Structure formats: C-alpha cells, structure tokens
Amino acid sequence: MVSRLCFGSLTISPLQADLPVRDAARVMRYAFEAGVNFVDTAELYQNYEHIRAALRGLGDRVLVATKCYAYRREQMEKSLHYALRALGRDHIDIFLLHEQESALTLRGHREALEYLLAAKEKGLVRAVGISTHFVAGVEAAASDPAIEVIHPIINRYGLGIRDGNAAAMVAAIQLAVENGKGVYGMKALGGGHLLDDPATALRFVLSIPGLASVAVGMQSTLEVDYNLCLISGRPVPEELERRIRRRPRRLLIQDWCQACGACVKSCSAGALYKREDGRAAVRQEVCTLCGYCAAVCPEFAIKVI
C-alpha cells in the first residue's frame, strides 16, 4: 500500500535543486513523518545517497521505486546491485525499466526484464515495471504479464505525452488498471507549467480511477505541507499559499555550451534544438523540466532553475 502522494526525488537531485545530502534528507524525512511512505528515484538522478540518509532507521516503512536504462542482463545486474548498496537496502520495492516507448522497446529490453524477474524470485526486487512518456508504452505494459507496475506521465493538458493527449493516456491507464497493474503517475503539474492552478491539476490526476499515487517533486518542507493539503483536499492556509508561490521554473542553458548536441539527442520531449551556431536552445513551452539533459551535458551547462 502506497500513500497517494509519492515523493518525487528528481527535484532534490543534482539535476535540479542540487540540495546537499543533509538538507535533502531533512525534507524527505519531514514528508515521511507526515505520512508519505513512497519515494520515486532513478539511477540517473544521482541521489541514492540522499535517500539513504532520509531512510536511516525507518526499516521497511518507506517504499522505494527506482529505474534505469539497462537493456542487457549484465547492465541490469550492475544497476540493481549498485542501487542496493547505495541505498543501504537488501531489496528494492519497485524496479522499473526507464522510459519505455512501445512493445518494440519492451522487446529490446527483455533481457534486462528477465534478469529483474529472476532477482524478484531471490527477494532482491519485490515488483517490476516500466516508466513511460508514451501511451503506446502503457498499452504495451498493460498487456504484458511480466509487468506489475507502470509509471506514466499524466496531467490535465497532456504536457510531455509524446504520442497522444491526456484523454488517450487516461484510457491507457484504465486498461492497465483493469489488467491488474499498479499505476502511479508523474508530472501531474506538467514539470511546473501548471503551477498557476496546482489544485485543479492534482484533482484531475487524482480523479483517474485506479491511479494509486502521484509522484510530485518537492525541495522544501513548505512544498511538502502544500502538496499534502492539495492531495488530501484540505484548504491551503493563506500564509502557506503566500510563501509557496514563486516564479515558474525554467531550463537554463549557460553561455559555455560547447555545441556537442548530446542534450538535444537526449530530450524525449523535443524541447531542445540546435541554433544556427550549433549551440543548444530550448522551447520553454514544450520543456517538461525533467532535467535529464543536464545529466548528459559534459560541460555542466544546463540546469533547471
């Protein structure tokens, strides 16, 4: 059983707010003590150390979902054992294949999936699944008996969905739920683009039948309090509302970009492109603020601010 609010840990990671371990652990611990029992991470986020510090002394009270891009057995074996060591755990509650697009993508990652299923038999993993920005990815996972958990992007305007709209994704989620899959959503606030009316954005996602939880990025105790109010339907105190309001986040590309193009290739939202001089530029209205591009930049020239 997971809490309706999942702590989305990308925000506290080096790809975004880059909180020191102590500060990140304090915010997560605050959320856990307030009733959140589910945290979402990924090998890409580089924040296992932060989560380990937050989980210290809690035993199995908090469930951890992580993911990686491995597609071969040996790659997945390496990623799983790295996660176990770095998180200080003897098992991972949910291990996902990161960013699966379709049935074809799932077939290409089958070797890694088979390893996870074998690891589950040994008790190293409790459930396996996928994360996806594609309606086709949800549909493929919904019909795959090996997949137990699906983590799709879903928000009221369909921001970041690569092959359809919000209605199509909701229909795919319903299919997955009917097929017995556990589903928890991501990007309910559209990577920050829906912060003008977060209550309506969260109500939309939470109204989807069968959606067990929604991962929301948080980097302060104020944001934890704010999101707990929204997700429980309690009114947000005026003072908290005033303090939490801040300028919308955006993707910053620094002047020292070396025009290598790695970020453009990594952008699943199609938000990054090359200017005439070869340097990267961003279409802010399309960017989902995932920060994944920052992970591949060799010059550390990209950051979500």
Same domain, 236 and 266: no
Q: Quick one: average pLDDT of 76-80?
A: 98
Q: Quick one: average pLDDT of 182-208?
A: 90
Share above pLDDT 70 across residues of the chain, in percent, rounded to a whole number? 99
Same domain, 164 and 287: no
Task: Tell me the per-residue pLDDT of 44-75, one tens digit each, with 9 for 90 and over.
Answer: 999 999 999 999 999 999 999 999 999 999 99
Residue 162 domain boundaries: 5-244
Same domain, 102 and 210: yes
Q: Which of helix, strand or coil describes residue 39?
A: strand
Long-range pairs of 200-209 with CB within 8 A, sequence gap ≥ 24: 200/156, 201/155, 201/156, 202/227, 202/230, 202/231, 204/155, 204/156, 205/154, 205/155, 205/156, 206/4, 206/231, 208/154, 208/170, 208/173, 208/174, 209/174, 209/177
What total of structural domains would you count in the chain?
Answer: 2
- pLDDT of 298: 81
Q: Quick one: average pLDDT of 235-245?
A: 88
Same domain, 168 and 266: no
Q: Quick one: average pLDDT of 131-156?
A: 97
- pLDDT of 247: 57
Task: Tell me the per-residue pLDDT of 82-116, one tens digit each, with 9 for 90 and over.
Answer: 999 999 999 999 999 999 999 999 999 999 999 99
Same domain, 232 and 278: no
Same domain, 19 and 132: yes
**Token code pair at residue 264:** 């453009």
Which range, 23-32, 237-246, 253-262, 273-282, has the best average confidence (pLDDT)? 23-32
Tokens 């005026």 sit on residue:
238
pLDDT band for position 246 (cuts 50, 70, 90): low
Q: Quick one: average pLDDT of 151-159?
A: 94
Q: Quick one: average pLDDT of 146-166?
A: 94
Choose the final residue of a domain: 244, 261, 280.
Answer: 244
Same domain, 151 and 96: yes
Same domain, 219 and 265: no
Same domain, 259 and 239: no
The enclosing domain of 262 has a CATH number of 3.30.70.20
Pair 9, 40: CB distance under 8 Å? yes
The enclosing domain of 99 has a CATH number of 3.20.20.100
Same domain, 205 and 272: no
CA atoms within a 13 Å half-sphere pointing along the CA-CB vector of 212: 19
Q: How far apart, in whole angstroms, are the C-alpha atoms of residue 127 and residue 196?
A: 36
Same domain, 165 and 79: yes
- pLDDT of 304: 78
3-state secondary structure 250-280: CEEECCCCCCCCHHHHHCCCCCEEECCCCCE
